Amino acid sequence: MTNFNIIPNRRNNINGTKWTFVPKDVLPMWVADMDFPAPRPILNSLRKALEHGVLGYEIPGGVLQETVAARMDRLYKWKVKPESVLAVTGIVSGFTVAARAFCSPKKGVAFHTPVYNEFHEVKDNVGVPQMDIPFVKSVKGNIISYAIDWDVFEKQVKKARIFLLCNPHNPLGIIFSREELSRMAEICIKHKVLIVSDEIHSELLLGGSKFIPMAKISREIEKHVITLVAPSKTFNVPGLFCGFAIIPNEELRKPFEMEMNRLRLHVASMGLQAANAAFSGQCDGWLRELNRYLTGNRDFLVDYVTKYMPNVRTTLPDATYLGWLDFTQAGIQGSPFEFFRDTAKVYLSDGKIFGKEGEGHVRINFGTSRGTLKEGLDRMRKAMERM
């Protein structure tokens, strides 16, 4: 059993930007990595490589492609050929490469907003138009939820070349249903829009939630989808920058691969090594324990906000270790991100980096020990009481 209540000190950790970026009196609850060490089989495989001592070139090959394909089959009964799997230097690289390969200055990317801040960077990084598809927000008690406005979805998506889907969704924690995925795909296919599905959070499932990859909905849909997966969030190895693009349709895979080759995007050998151990199945017991612990943290967060933070609203995420708090009714003057940074000494992610709908909101990272989560919430509550 892993004891997730105990976390290492990361203030002096070379992989610790989350902690070293902020002054010592500030508690970091921002960037999306967790405070837990990676599972043992991953660490052992890295140690083995280090102990050998020769850190030569490693070209991602058959064994790793088979490991990824086997994982898709085991998790979702999604049968993909190993050659459909390409190693990428992270998921942001993956969707950026896709935009470079398929978009044009006239037809760019469309995505739901608010969404992961890096989606918003594609526009300038690749030089393509961006179509926002704002969610419709609703409130029940202090729980907020977000739904798709299908008219807006179609109106915006048809102007794009790529629909960039974030599923499960960062920062809202939504897992889209089979029906929603089918409907999104149907509209995209009707308008000849490719789907790039960022599924980096797909194995961080809370409260027994189930996930279905967009490309698994049907063989027809699969032809239009580039799926991006990685062990980085699930097993907390994001600093190793290794992910995978699964592209069964050769007509999409070839241009994608060509663009990767042009850019000379090579994954480091340690990333490949870790990914193989992570996806092999040896870490799945650890992952089950992690998901139970994160579910406890989510429930703790939601209960805490409900009990002790009047007029603050929260999502009830089904996936990820990211909470989304709405302070628009809480009477804070100016940005809640700055308020909590300066007054509570808690460093959160500013809601507005996820799109203008995120103004007045913050994202909170609960991928930490319960004690640290409580400490952060206590600091926030006290700062609000002093207000």
Ligand X SMILES: Cc1ncc(COP(=O)(O)O)c(C=O)c1O
Q: What is the closest distance, in whole angstroms, from the C-beta atom of residue 22 to ligand X in the complex?
A: 17
* CB nearer ligand X, residue 233 or residue 341: 233
Which one of residues 35, 198, 318, 350 is an interface residue with ligand X (CB under 6 A)?
198
Q: Maximum CA pair distance of the chain?
A: 60
CB atoms within 10 A of CB 75: 17
- Site pattern 157..176 for ligand X (x: CB under 6 A): ---------x---x------
Residue whose beta carbon is closest to ligand X: 90
Which among 293, 341, 352, 274 is positioned nearest to 35, based on CA atoms?
Answer: 293
Which one of residues 34, 42, 91, 157 is an interface residue with ligand X (CB under 6 A)?
91
* CB nearer ligand X, residue 33 or residue 332: 33
Which one of residues 38, 92, 174, 184 is an interface residue with ligand X (CB under 6 A)?
92
CA distances from 377 to 88, 120, 233, 321, 367 (A): 37, 29, 23, 15, 14
Q: What is the closest distance, in whole angstroms, from the C-beta atom of residue 173 to ligand X in the complex?
A: 11
* CB nearer ligand X, residue 32 or residue 344: 32
Ramachandran bin of 18, using left for φ above 0, alpha for ψ from -120 to 50, beta for the remaining angles:
alpha
> Which residues 220-279 are close enough to bind ligand X by CB under 6 A?
230, 232, 238, 243
Ramachandran bin of 236, using left for φ above 0, alpha for ψ from -120 to 50, beta for the remaining angles:
left
CA distances from 326 to 66, 206, 329, 336, 360 (A): 43, 21, 8, 9, 6
- Site pattern 4..33 for ligand X (x: CB under 6 A): ----------------------------x-
Q: Which of these ranges, 89-97, 208-216, 280-288, 323-331, lies near ligand X under the rule CB under 6 A? A: 89-97
Residues 6+ apart with CB under 8 A from 261: none
Q: What share of the chain is helix, strand, coil (3-state, %, to 5)?
A: 45, 15, 40
Q: What is the closest distance, in whole angstroms, from the C-beta atom of residue 114 to ligand X in the complex?
A: 12
Question: Residue 257 has which token pair?
Answer: 């691969």
Q: Say how many residues touch ligand X, by CB under 6 A.
A: 13
Q: Which of these ranges, 49-57, 84-92, 100-108, 344-352, lies near ligand X under the rule CB under 6 A? A: 84-92
Which among 233, 275, 271, 241 is positioned nearest to 34, based on CA atoms?
Answer: 233
* CB nearer ligand X, residue 27 or residue 230: 230
Q: What is the closest distance, in whole angstroms, from the C-beta atom of residue 323 to ligand X in the complex?
A: 14
DSSP state of 38: P
Q: Rounded to the nearest 10 degrees, what angle do helices 40-52 and 269-279 cross at?
A: 140
Which among 283, 253, 278, 246 is positioned nearest to 87, based on CA atoms?
Answer: 246
> Which residues 29-48 are close enough to bind ligand X by CB under 6 A?
32
Q: What is the closest distance, in whole angstroms, from the C-beta atom of residue 360 to ligand X in the complex?
A: 21
Q: What is the closest distance, in whole angstroms, from the C-beta atom of residue 16 to ligand X in the complex?
A: 16
Chain residues binding ligand X by CB under 6 A are 32, 90-92, 116, 166, 170, 198, 200, 230, 232, 238, 243
